[in-house]
Structures are given as C-alpha cells and as structure tokens.
Structure 1
Amino acid sequence: MEETQDAGRSGLGRFAPRSFRGAIVASTVGLMTVAMVLVVLGIQVVLEVAAQRDIRQVLDDRTDAMVRVLQQASTDRLTVPEESLQPGMVVYDGDGRRVAGSVASEVRDAADGVATTDVVRTVSGGEEDDRLLGTPFTTPSGEGGVLVVSQETAPYERSELYALIAAVVLGVLVIAATALMALRVTSQALRPVTVMADRAADWSEHDLSHRFALGPPTNELAALGATLDGLLDRVASAIRSEQRLTSELAHELRTPLTGIQGSADLALLRGVADPAVREDLEQIAASAREMGAVITSLLDIARDGTTSGREQCHVADVVPALVAAAGGRLEVVDRTATSTASVAAPAGLVVRAVAPLVDNACRHGRERVVIEATDHPDHVELVVRDDGDGVEEGVRATLFEPGVSRRAGGAGLGLGIARRMARSFGGEVLLGDGPGGAAFAVRLPRR
C-alpha cells in the first residue's frame, strides 16, 4: 500500500510545476479554466431554454392564427381556405382523416399520430427533429378537427452551435490572456525575491560581510531581507568559529608533530645500524610529513573558506606542482595542453585540491598517471587517471567520507580533503570510471 502511494506521489510529481511561479500560474489557469467551462455550460443552458421557448411561441402563434381562419371559414361545414394554409400545416377532421395541407415526408407519420389528439400536444419527429404541435378545434357548425403545425428546429440548433463555438473561442482567449497576465505579474513580484536569493548565495560563498539592510520589516520583502541578514550572520559566525577552531587545532598539532619529525630526521642523520629501526624511523618521518601536509591543507581551508573569485589561474600553472606531487613514483603523462580557459581560483588552492588525487593515483597505479583537462562553457574539468585495479564496489558510495579508502591499508583522508578543498572555491570532485583503473574528475569553475 505504501509503495503504491509512493509511486502515485512520484507520478504526480513529474507533472507538478518545478517553481513557485509555475505553481501560481498553473493554479490561476486552472481556476480560470474551470470558471470558463461553467460559463460556457451556463450559456448553453440559457440558449437551449430560450430556443425551446421561441419554438413553442412560433408554433402557438401560427396555430392561433390558423384556427381563427378555420373557424371563420367553416360556418356550415369544415372548410379550409387553401390560400391561408401555410407550408408545414395539416388539417384533420374529427375522424383523423387528412383534409388539407402537407408536412415534410419525414414527419408525416408523426403528424398522423397527433391528428387523433383531443388536447394540445407537442411532439418531435423526423431526422431533422421538427417540432409538431397538435391543437384540436371546433367550428361554429359544431364539427371538430385537429390542426397540426410543424416547425423546423435546425436554425435554432445552428444558432446554439455558433454560440457554443464563439463561447469556446472566447474562453480559450480569456484563459490565454489570464496565463500571460499571471506570468507577468508573478515574474515582476518574484523578481526581487530571486535577486535577493542569488545575492545571498553569492555572498555566502564569497563575502559574508554584505547585508541587505532593508530596514524594519514593514513588508514581505523587508521581512525576507531581515531573515536573510540573520541567516548570513549565523553562517558568518559558524564559519568564523570553524576557522578559529581549525586554526587553533592546527597550531596545537604542529608543535608536537614538528618535534616528532625533527627527532626522526635527527636520528636518521646520526645513523642507525639496525635496518629495521632505520625503516621504522623513515616511516615515522614520512608519516609526520604527510600529516603536516594534511594539517596545512586544513588550515588553508579554514583561512580561505570563501574565495573572492577575483584570483585566477590556468591549468598549465598547476601541472608542474602536480607532477612534483607524484615524487617520481610513477610516470605522469600530461595531456592538459588543450585547456586555455581561466580558472576562478588561485593556483595554490587548485594544487591542494588536485594533489591528493595524484598521490592517490600513485599509491594505487602500476606504471603511469594521466592528467587530462577539458574546457567547458562554465567549468574546466581536470581528470586524474591511474592504471591500477580501480575502486572497490563496496566503497564507491562512501569513498569521499573520512576514514574510507580505495583499498585496505589507507587512512582515507586525502580524497575527502580534496573534495572539501575544491568546494571551498566552488569546484567539485567526482569519481568516474577509467579504462582499467580509477578516474577522478575535478570540476574547476571558470572565471
């Protein structure tokens, strides 16, 4: 049952407007459509009632006029003046025999059936839906008869059809005009909100010192501005707290870490006879340097958590540092010459975002690491590929989380730091599929 409801909601969601403006326009058009349908139906009902009333009125008038003529002409016996008998009129005697007149062949049987009536009766007959009115009368001589009058209803039905078409066309025009008006009004009303949202997003990423400062919340926009100002204040406070905490932790960790690395290097310089001890000291020194690089990256993220976007670089500016990050462990193939676009970030931050990916490729590759670059309209995509065994399926979804590594034995810190560093200047790090290995794509925003 829940699955059915979820499927129904997801199906309805595909047809729901994706914007608030679209929802307003859709609801307005829907209400106007319902209103116009009701108006058109109401007009048709009124026209139908009026047409039936007019047809009956015509039948009554023609019948009254002819009955008076028959009564005046039939002083001794039933006499029908031919010159006074109009088309569509038939006079029957008291026995139901036709005396004079004629009607259309399609309604002749219906007229004969009405001829035996002793009360006023209206019937429909024939393919053209003619209306018949049978009226009994008595002449001054005492003879009885029935006058049957037919009236074609096609002209009235055509008038109703034309009125329906005109009402439908008018309704469509009214609905279209309503949609355009609603779209224009909502666009003008929501434009300030869109501008404020874009500015707030830009300020939250690049400069948290800006505020709307629209004054007291006397209207909806001023209230929204005050809310966004408060939100920016809280974001700025949270970022400052994070920067302060990260900076303090980095400084506190650097002192003992420097001591560890210095002691290990000094012991190596003095010389160690035992190969096992020397290997342990080299591992301690390498781990200390790696941890120092991580701390430096975290400190840079804290200091440059929001970049101004005014600094820029090119891919060619960062490739030498990326090659140096490989440390000669594997061959680095540079295929970035085709990229000429400007990246909206300083070269140092770009290097710190991509270098962990190069180091990761060197750890898991076999012979070479390939660095490729492609320019797109809004970003530059820098891809780091290796020829290793790829990424295990079980860790692909959580690969960028702290403590998760491609293979057993890794610390699982470099990829998460790379993504966080890239996001600090509006970029992103994504996992792709490489031929026979892993591929990490870094999307760098263009200036």
Structure 2
Amino acid sequence: MRISRTPATLRGRLALLALATTAVWVAVLTAVFNIELGARLRHQADDLVRTRATAVAATMDAQPDGQIVEHEPADDTALDVGIWIYQGTTAIQRPNAPNVLQDRADQLAGTGESSTDTSEPHAFRLYALPIMAGDRQAGTVVASVGLDAYRYTARSVLAGSIGLGALLLTGVYLVTRAVVGRALRPVDEMSNRAARWSEHGTAQRFGTDSHLAELAGLAGNLNQLLDRQAAILRHEQQLTAELSHELRTPLARITAETDWLAARPRDPDDQRTSHEAIATAAARMQQICETLLSEARTRNHQVAGRSAVADVARALSERSSQEHPEAPSVTVIGDGATAGVSAALMERILVPLLDNARRYAAGRITVECEREPGRVLVTVVDDGCGVPESVGEAVFEAGRRAHPGDGHDGAGLGLPLARRLARSAGGDIILAPSLEGARFVVSLPAG
C-alpha cells in the first residue's frame, strides 16, 4: 500500500510550503554569508602576514656586495615571531617552527614575492617578500601566520548559522501552522454549521458582516448554494405533494371499482362499466404523471423544438370531442403561429387550460392563436362562470380552485402546472380580464 507523505490538511500543506520556501532562503543566505565571511578572513590573514613581512623588510638593508644588514628596532619581539630572513637562499634567521613549516619557508627563499599555505595539522599562510639590492634580489623575508583561529572562527560561524537556521525553520513552521489554523478556524466553523444545518434542513444562513472579504465572499456563495438547494428541495417536496394529491382521486376510483367487482358476481354490463371506469382512472393517472414529470424535467432548461400551435389545439379539440362528447366543442382561430417549444410540451400546457374550460363552459370554448414580434399568444376563452375577483391570480396557486364546490373532480394543480411549464420554456400564462367566462393568455417564444 502506497503511503502519501504530503499532509492531508490545508494547514499542514501551507505550513510545509512556508517551511520549504523559508528553508531555501535560509540555505542561500547562510551559504552567501559564510562564503563572504571566509573571504573576509582570508583577506584579513593576507593583510596581517603582508604587514609583518613589510615591517621586517623595513629594518633590512641590502649592501652592494649582496650582504644583508639588519637594523634592530627598539622592540622586535613581535617581528621575530614566525619570521625567516634569507640572504640569497641561506637562512640568517629562523623561528622555532615545525619542520614542515621550515621546509616550506626554504622553498619560498629567492622566489620573489609569493605566498603559500600549509595543510593541517599545521595550517599556516606564508608570504615571501624580496629584499632588493638595486635591480637584483639580495634576500627574502618570509612571514607566517597561523590559520587555525580563522578556520575555527569560520567553522563556529557556520555551525551557529546552521543552528540558527534550524531554530528559525522550526519557529516558522510552528508559527505558520498556528496562524493558518487560526485563519482557517472560521472556515471550520462554517463547515460544521453547514453539516448541522444539512441534517436538520434548517433555513439558517451564514452572516457576511463579521468576516473578512474572502470569507464574506465564501459565505455569500454558500448562502446562494443553500438557497438553490432549498429551492430544489421545496420543488421536489411540492412535486411529491402534487403527485400524491392528484393521484389520490383516480386511485380511489380504481380501488372502489375493484372492491365493487370483488364484492359479488356482476353481469357483463356492470363488469364492462367497471372496467371502463378503471381504464379511465388509469389513463388519468398516466396523464397526471406525464404532466408533472414534464414540468420537473423542464423547470431548469430552455425547452428546444418547434410546434404549430393551431395544429396542436385542433388535435386536442378532436380528442376532447371523442372523450367528452357531451362537452362543448372547441373552436380554433388562427393559423401560421409557430411556437419555439415541442409539440409534446405545447400539449402539456394547453391540456389543463382546455380541461378547465370544458368543466365550466356553458356552450363555447375558443382557442385564438396569433403571432407577435418574438412571441406567440394563445388565448383560451370559455363562456362559463369565470374566475371570481376574490380569487384572481390565486387560481395559479397549487391546490387552489376557483369553485371548490362545483362538483367537478380535480385538485387545483392543472393551472399551476401549465404556468410552470410555460415559464420553463421562457413564456408565461396570465388570467386576462373578460366580460364573460374565463380568459387565459399563454405567451411563448416564437419558433
């Protein structure tokens, strides 16, 4: 099993990123600082050894015959430490020094101005300064300085830099985790609150006033998401309620007819009548399901397609005449109007309006189709009792009926569903003023 070494939390990842970034900078700065310090220490050692050699050479005179004459200063103790004086290649003065250092000083005699280093355990820097007699070198002064103190200083500073860098990185990591954790605490609180709200279906929302700009934006987006989810939930609950409410009547009819048939033997005519009633109720259930599910599928999408409004209205008129021969006939006026919705959706919009008109019309139902710039108007008019002024637009509310005691079946879902279907297609349905009966106007995008 593969184990990921990347922290699982945002706080850990941000702290690790800050640690890595700081580590790179600390490493670069430490390297630059120690390189610069080493160069400064080497330059300081060079200056010291040159100064000592120059001071000793100032006390020497070269005679024309090549002899070196030394003029002793008042205090030459400091000058004699680590100083070699050569006449030609012969040492006329040697300090007490290891053999390795003696040999290296002898190699510098007579070579002109030069310098060299010895390795540990006797780390020294030697510098040779020629003593000139005219245009020729009569002797050489070799000065030395120990490098152990300089190297110790450089190593100590390097160790201190590494230790300080480690402490700095530890502090950066801990502080970053604490700061990021504190900064993300409101996000954790928002997440916990959202989890609690999702369990109980609460209508609470996040406040945006007391948060920083970024968190306020997040809270606003979460509020919009919760509002959309709540709207979807309400719609689903409404759809379920509408289905159960509307299906209750045909289901009750089917149950009653089935119980009536099973109660005792019936003659063929009674059985045929019951079977027709059951078939009618089942067809009604199918129609209700198709209408409700069509609305659910199209509520968030612009419905594509085209349909001839007059043709759909005539087809529905013929079907209504066959199913309800006792009802008033439907007159369709107008041709050539093409709506920008499919014929199936057009039918689902008109069926509740025609059913409503069939229930209340006294003797006349008219469907008027006309085209306007960018839209199509379909007006369904009947000469019935109309919609009372006390009801008005409330007739489009689910479960609301203009005349609940009229003896007709229905649950008051047809008109609300027709309006939602029209609005899902980019149109609308309104109740228009009418001197007689009811007048509903459907507006849809032109095809």
What's the TM-score, normalizing by structure 1? 0.51
Classify the secondary structure of the residue corresponding to 1:14. coil
Which amino acid is 2:233 matched to?
A: I
Cα gap change, 1:74 to 1:167, in 2 (>3 Å):
farther
2:219 is matched with which residue: 216, 219, 225? 225
Alignment partners' CA distance in 1, 2:253 and 2:243: 16
Q: CA deviation at 1:72?
A: 9.1
Distance, in Å, in 2 between the alignment partners of 1:269 and 1:237 is 47
CA distance in 2, matches of 1:74, 1:159: 46
Residue pair 1:92, 1:147 contacting (<8 A) in 2 also: yes
1:35 matches 2:30: no
Question: 1:204·1:232 contact (CA, 8 Å) conserved in 2?
Answer: no
8 Å contact kept, 1:70–1:139: no
Amino acid at match of 1:22: G
Paired residues for 1:433-444 under 5 Å: none
- In 2, the alpha carbon distance for the partners of 1:181 and 1:217 equals 22
Partner of residue 245, structure 1: 239
1:92 partnered with 2:86: yes
Correspondence 1:156-195 to 2 at 5 A: 156-195=150-189
**2:115 aligned residue:** 122
Residue type at the aligned position of 2:87: D
**Please, which of 129, 139, 142 is the counterpart of residue 135 of structure 1?**
129
Output aligned runs, 1:401-420, within 5 Å: none
- Residue 43 of structure 1 aligns to a residue whose secondary structure is helix
Match runs of 1:23-422 below 5 Å? 23-71=13-61, 77-79=67-69, 86-94=80-88, 96-102=89-95, 103-118=97-112, 120-127=113-120, 128-138=122-132, 144-215=138-209, 219-252=213-246
Task: Give CA-to-partner distance per residue, 1:322-372, whole Å, 9 cap, x none.
Answer: xxxxxxxxxxxxxxxxxxxxxxxxxxxxxxxxxxxxxxxxxxxxxxxxxxx
Matching residue's letter, 2:217? A
Superposition deviation, residue 195 in structure 1? 0.8
Offset at 1:178?
1.8
Q: CA deviation at 1:207?
A: 2.8
1:423 equivalent in structure 2: none
8 Å CA contact 1:87, 1:101 repeated in 2: no
TM-score norm. by structure 2 comes to 0.51
Identify if the C-alpha distance between structure 1 residues 158 and 217 changes in structure 2 by more than 3 Å, giving closer, same or farther: closer
Deviation at 1:18, TM superposition (A): 2.4
> Which entry has the higher C-alpha Rg, 1 or 2?
2
State how far apart, in whole Å, the 2-side matches of 1:123 and 1:51 are: 16
One-letter code of the match for 1:155? A
Kept after mapping to 2: 8 A contact 1:208/1:232? no
Deviation for aligned residue 1:139: 6.1
Q: In 2, Cα distance between the equivalents of 1:91 and 1:74?
A: 18
- Deviation sequence 1:352-401 (CA, Å, 0-9, x none): xxxxxxxxxxxxxxxxxxxxxxxxxxxxxxxxxxxxxxxxxxxxxxxxxx
Deviation at 1:156, TM superposition (A): 0.3
Judged with a 3 Å threshold, the aligned counterparts in structure 2 of structure 1 residues 143 and 239 are, in CA distance, closer, same or farther, namely closer
Aligned identity (percent) is: 28
C-alpha displacement of 1:138: 3.2
Q: Is the 8 A contact 1:136 1:147 kept in 2?
A: yes
Shift in Å at residue 161 of structure 1? 0.7
Q: CA deviation at 1:248?
A: 2.9
Q: Which letter maps to 2:145?
A: Q
**Helix, strand or coil at the partner of 1:17:** coil
**Number of aligned positions between the proteins:** 260
**Deviation digits for residues 68-90 of structure 1, max 9, x if unmatched?**
23339999932568975624222
C-alpha displacement at 1:208, in angstroms?
Answer: 2.9
Deviation of 1:63 after TM superposition, in Å, equals 0.6
Q: Distance in 2 between matches of 1:267 and 1:181?
A: 82
In structure 2, relative to structure 1, the CA distance for the partners of 1:139 and 1:22 (3 Å cut) is: same
Q: Could you report, residue by residue, the CA deviation over 1:26-74 in whole angstroms, capped at 9, with x for unpaired residues?
A: 2222222122112211220221111111101110121122112333999
Distance (Å, rounded) in 2 between the aligned partners of 1:153 and 1:71: 30
Change in CA separation of 1:124 and 1:76 when aligned onto 2, cut-off 3 Å = closer
Q: Distance in 2 between the 1:143 and 1:223 partners? A: 85
- Following superposition, the deviation at residue 204 of structure 1 comes to 2.2
Consecutive unaligned residues of structure 2, counting only runs of 5 or more, are: 266-447
C-alpha contact 1:25 1:183 (8 A) present in aligned 2: yes
* CA–CA separation in structure 1 for the residues paired with 2:247 and 2:151: 93
Unaligned runs of 5+ in 1: 1-9, 272-447
Deviations 1:128-164, CA, capped at 9 Å, x for gaps: 3321101110369x98111111211111000011111
Query: Could you tell me how far apart the structure 2 residues matched to 1:154 and 1:215 are?
Result: 66
Letter in 2 for 1:204: S
- For residue 238 of structure 1, what is the amino acid of its counterpart? I
Partner of residue 19, structure 1: 9
Alignment CA distance shift 1:177-1:216 (3 Å): closer
What is the identity, as a one-letter code, of the residue corresponding to 1:97? Answer: T
Contact 2:62 2:138 in 1 (8 A): no
CA deviation string 1:229-276 (max 9, x = no partner): 1111111111111122233334455665666667777777769xxxxx
